[in-house]
Amino acid sequence: MNAIQLIIELKSSLLVASTHYGDENSRISLEYIPGSTIKGAVIHQFVKQDTFTDQDIYSKDATFRKYFFDDQVIFLNAYPYNSTFFDHPRAIPVPLSWQTEKQNLEEQNNEREVFDYAYDDDADLNQAKTEPRKFFWQVPERISDEPIRYPLISPKMISTVHNMSVHPHIKKPDSSTVFRYDVIAPKQVFCSYILFKDEALLKSIEPLVPTGSVFLGGSRSARYGHTHITKVEVKNWEEFESQGDDSDDDVVITLLSDMILKDSSGEPSFDFSLALKKHLNLTSKPKPVRAFIKTGIAGGFNRKWGLPIIQDPVILKGSCFVYHKNEFSDLNTLKSDTQWGLGERISDGFGRIGINLVGNASFETYIPSIEASETAPVSSESEYLIKQFIEKTIQKRIDQKLLSYLAEVESTNPPENTQLNKIRILAKQAVRSPLDENLEISRFFEANMKELAFLQFDRRFLVIRHEKYTWRAWIIKMIKDADGFAQLGFQKQDYQVLGESYTPDQAKKAEVAYRIIEAVADKVIKEKR
């Protein structure tokens, strides 16, 4: 099948909240990036380039529905990525049937033997425990006569704590709140694929897939979710490769993502065999020989509404079902008929299926090394201090140049202080999340302003460094250019610190631009008092 490969490098921690029921002030992220999150980023690009004025029309527009809701385009979950495994660089979920000795876990033995109970549930284990690592790469390795080895990994998670206080320097129980996030750590790389049932759709959607610096997930105002995305078009892509041979009596079906099933009345269901019967048009419901199932809840969040979406009971990824081979006509047909997924919300990456992923009752495992090109090494303490010093030095230079900039700002008949204060507040909000496309300041002059207020910005002037602008033209220019360093007159030598060259990213450039707007408004307000 034709696909677009997305390689997603985390520049900062990523929060894609799961539906856990813990403390109301805590959030636990999923250990992967859902397909719905990636689809949301593509929808955002579609909305930006489209000419619709009424966004409600999207639900009725045939093109929009074909792109995003008719299961013609499928956005797969992003799982850990390793470029050294060329054939299958994207990891897939570890089956729940994989068991290991409890002693191996206690001793933290990463190169441990794993037994697949889907093939042999009589393995001689003293204390069997489910393999805790979450993902593996389907690249079996055999060295001479040694047993087969598979690389396994779990994404690195970290805990962060935030304090929100009414008074920043005063911490009291009645005025302070502590938030804790368990998030995916930065400096990791994930891989997703966008699948297309029609190659023409690939050509239409490919330009909409964002690349470069992209923010994903929640808490973006706290600088979570900063990623760098690279896309590559892939021909004849396959998500997995079936192992084993024709002499095997059993077929092992593993869920490669969560699956949402509904019965004939539309109620949630966990009857995978019945869903398989209906999907494949079988004459009878296949009976599983063994099954390893875990259920849960899948939800989501709509950023436009600012509300969570409906939660669905799901069969969790990694769940396994073992059937006799004679339940199906042949394996190739089974694989072909399930290649696009099964169940609800297929376009969001739900319902992915793998068939005979391993084919061995036991094998060795290990944790692969990560290349420096994929994941940057952890900075030493001295490197961290140098980085902090460079950032503080640049910040001091920004402050100094901003003071010089303000000294050259003149406004003899500015807008009223109430209007300027509104601009100052909106600019301050934008500083916290400078790359958010939905910033209110960006729509300030389009939000049905009263004519009197509009004219205050459109007919009154300010002079900055001997150049005359209307207030409206200057603010729009600052937002559009989004480069505060250029506005402040930074030269090449201003970026040099300790022999290192500081390169601001787009978020920092936009942040400084909004700081300039805030500072100019604040200066004029004070001068009018």
Q: Rounded to whole angstroms, how far apart are CA atoms 66 and 61?
A: 9
> Phi and psi (nearest 5°) for 346?
-60, -35
Judge whether residue 77 has pLDDT over 70. Answer: yes
pLDDT range class, residue 60, cuts 50, 70, 90: low
Q: Which candidate, 528, 521, 529, places its Cα nearest to that of 406?
A: 521
Please tell me whether residue 107 adopts helix, strand or coil conformation.
coil
Q: Which of 427-431, 491-495, 518-522 has the lowest mean pLDDT?
A: 427-431
pLDDT value, residue 22: 59
pLDDT digit string (tens) for 13-43?
999 877 765 566 677 889 999 999 999 899 8
Looking at the chain, the whole-number percentage of residues with pLDDT higher than 70 is 86
Tell me the two tokens of residue 11.
């520049």
What separation in angstroms does the CA of 323 have from each of 123, 279, 327? 19, 16, 7
- Whether the CB-CB separation of 37 and 216 falls below 8 Å is answered with yes
- 309/66: higher pLDDT: 66
Region 48-52: what's the mean pLDDT?
A: 63
Q: Which candidate, 128, 81, 131, 126, places its Cα nearest to that of 110?
A: 131
- Whether the CB-CB separation of 417 and 528 falls below 8 Å is answered with yes
pLDDT value, residue 380: 45
Q: Which candidate, 89, 347, 77, 47, places its Cα nearest to that of 232?
A: 89
Judge whether residue 371 has pLDDT over 70. Answer: no
End-to-end CA distance of the chain: give it in Å, rounded.
67
pLDDT value, residue 298: 87
pLDDT range class, residue 438, cuts 50, 70, 90: low
- Whether the CB-CB separation of 437 and 425 falls below 8 Å is answered with no
25 Cβ contact partners less than 8 Å away, ≥ 6 residues apart: 177, 178, 179, 180
pLDDT digit string (tens) for 148-162?
889 999 999 988 877
Judge whether residue 417 has pLDDT over 80. Answer: yes
Would you list the DSSP string of 1-13? -EEEEEEEEESS-
**CA angle, residues 415, 512, 185, in degrees to nearest 5:** 135
- Whether the CB-CB separation of 452 and 441 falls below 8 Å is answered with no
What residues form DSSP beta bridges with 290? 322
Residue position matching structure tokens 């934008």: 430
pLDDT value, residue 136: 95
pLDDT digit string (tens) for 476-496?
899 888 899 999 999 988 998
- On average, the pLDDT of the chain sits at 84
- Whether the CB-CB separation of 87 and 42 falls below 8 Å is answered with no
Query: Which helix (H) or strand (E) element contains residue 153?
Result: strand 149-153
pLDDT digit string (tens) for 118-158?
987 777 778 888 899 999 999 888 765 666 889 999 999 98
Judge whether residue 96 has pLDDT over 90. Answer: yes
Region 244-266: what's the mean pLDDT?
A: 88
pLDDT value, residue 58: 58
pLDDT value, residue 373: 40
DSSP class of 347: G
- 223/464: higher pLDDT: 464
Residue 340 CA, chain-centre distance (Å), reads 22
pLDDT value, residue 59: 58
- 415/310: higher pLDDT: 415
Judge whether residue 367 has pLDDT over 80. Answer: yes
pLDDT value, residue 448: 58
What residues form DSSP beta bridges with 410? 463
- Domains along the chain? 2-31+35-76+155-239 (3.30.70), 95-144+242-369 (2.60.40.4350), 381-528 (no CATH)
Would you list the DSSP string of 351-372? T-EEESS---SEEEEEPPPPPT
Judge whether residue 501 has pLDDT over 90. Answer: no
pLDDT value, residue 165: 64
